[in-house]
Amino acid sequence: MPSPSRLPTCFAVKTGHTFLFDCGEGAQRQMMKYTISYAKVKAIFFSHLHADHILGIFGLVQSLNLAGRKDELLLFGPKGLKEVVGSVLSTRFLRPDFPIRFTEVSSAKKVYEDALVKVSSFKVRHNVDALGYVLEEQPIHKFYEEKAKGLGIRGRLFREIQEKGFVTVNGKKITLEEVTFLKEGKRLVYSGDTLPCSSTEKAAHEADVLIHESTFSETDVKQAKLKFHSTARQAAELAKKAKAKKLVLVHFSNRYSDLQVLLKEAQEVFPETELAEEGKELLI
């Protein structure tokens, strides 16, 4: 449920393009408020089709339409996404003037890739068909600077060797592989709504950030199981098992007026935990 201080789940990742994971009510207004350009949204990854995770798409699309968007918007989610969202956006008064491409995901797989990032899905345990996502930077070439400079690579030659794969210095050909190594990109994992499950633990192994739902506290663990949600402690236990570097708790029940209860519960198990808050930014 929305509250005076919180709106339903939606978070943005800025890396080249802007990507949204879920799209709760008022998403575009939140982006305006916190100076994230909603016009630059390339793709939206829906974890499942419950209303609190999808209702924001309709307002966002209308705002994009009024702003004159022409670029295609990519929407990813479980089976039924096109029926639910597409049927509304196909009506006469809500149909956008820009293309929307729907991709329905039924299994763990890579769903998106560009020069900078790739996004993969995995199945989670909720009371409807539901997904989690992994966003991972592409590996990048990092220079052995002393070796490169020792071979005469300086100034513009650093750019040239990255573009061509080699340069010639004093008659000698030097390849990119000789003076660089591949550095793995940062990895962010989003659980969506779920009970604790092995697929999330596997996806989050040594992740830089795990964003995991924590709808309930441990005092309401029976309710969490009944509703197919997690407690803050369960999220922390999973992060610890997965050896994640940081845990961010999201998706809080309105029964908790003081979210510090959830934070304390998780930090007792996994100290590198923080709460997702309106407008919070993380540099990964």
The catalytically annotated residue of 22, 52, 129, 193 is 52
Alpha carbons 9 and 2: distance in angstroms, whole number: 9
> CA–CA distance from 191 to each of 53, 106, 131 (Å)?
13, 16, 7
Contact 106, 79 (CB under 8 A): yes
Residue 100 forms beta bridges with which residues?
Answer: 73
Residue 181 forms beta bridges with which residues?
Answer: 142
* Amino acid of residue 185: G
Is 52 an active-site residue? yes
Alpha carbons 72 and 50: distance in angstroms, whole number: 24
CB atoms within 10 A of CB 28: 22
Phi, psi values for residue 109, rounded to 5°: -170, 165
Alpha carbons 174 and 124: distance in angstroms, whole number: 47
CA-nearest of 143, 134, 163, 115 to 45 is 134
Active centre residues (catalytic) = 52
